[in-house]
Amino acid sequence: MKSRKLGNSDLNISEIGLGCMSLPTDEKTAKWIVDAAVDHGITYFDTADLYDKGINEEIIGKALNGKRKDIILATKVGNVWNKEGEGWYWDPSKKNIEHQVKESLRRLQTDYIDLYQLHGGTIEDPWDEIIEAFDHLKKEGTIRAYGISSIRPNVIKEFLPKSDAVSVMMQYSLLDRRPEEWFDVLEENNASIVTRGSLAKGLLTNEWSNRLAKANGYQTYSQDELHATLEELANNSKDVHAAALAYVLQSPIVASAVIGASSKEQLEATILAYNNAHSIYATELKKLTKIDMYNAHR
């Protein structure tokens, strides 16, 4: 497993990261998946205090016990569960960030977080206060670096130039190429992309036909548009899964493709696809890029 530098930080993260939201709440099964990820060279693990009301962080903390020094651990902050536990609200205040980081540290069983990410954001947020909170946590050693998880251009452009953020987590795949419009902005601000949704809920794997049968379109794709696009992708690639990973990793602005796995079998399929991705050439990727006749840059 190769690694890439995350923005202008001193963090090097594996090209494939494990998105922990998909992990089962059964601790034994989750540990099997985490252990398998580590065995395959995955060093980047991404969770959030929102996932399973904090239980996901607890599971990751237990599963990574004894492996912490070899891991780049990322989590997120900003969404707070209601007391009733039936929904959450947005609170990006400094007070909340500095409170929630302590809770995440406790659940993750660690005394520092490698990458702390704002889990969303709006243009009306108190950005100076948010940045002050992250800078303070970094200065005291509670976090090593910080970033944001957002797909909103106005939020990204508000946050990056004013801060020392090193990353933006955003949805990016063969079926969603919007981030390509912002590559220059990220490069100008010395930030990397950490992708999510790069397999499009399994539609960009070799099981695409089974996933398609259960889908009802995808984002702005109608079901018919999605079927036509996936069929053409499959006709032009022997390994859709590998092509999907190769596509998002071809740009150096991307530090890692974060892929979810709810079973060891799903993880093994992604590792195999990652290894096969190295044999996919630029000419094939260029051909695949032209296939998205419906939604490219919509």
Q: How far apart are CA 295 and CA 220, in angstroms?
A: 7
Count of Cβ atoms closer than 10 Å to residue 2 Cβ: 11
The one catalytic residue in 44, 51, 172, 218 is: 51
Whether 274 is a known active-site residue: answer: no
Q: How far apart are CA 273 and CA 44, in angstroms?
A: 18
Supply angle C-alpha 222, 194, 223, rounded to 5. Answer: 10
- Write the CB contacts of 100 (distance below 8 Å, at least 6 apart in sequence): 49, 77, 80
- DSSP track, 123-159: TTS-HHHHHHHHHHHHHTTSEEEEEEE---HHHHHHH
Plot region of 58 (φ>0 → left; ψ -120 to 50 → alpha; else → beta): alpha
Q: What is the DSSP letter of 10?
A: S
Catalytic (active-site) positions: 51
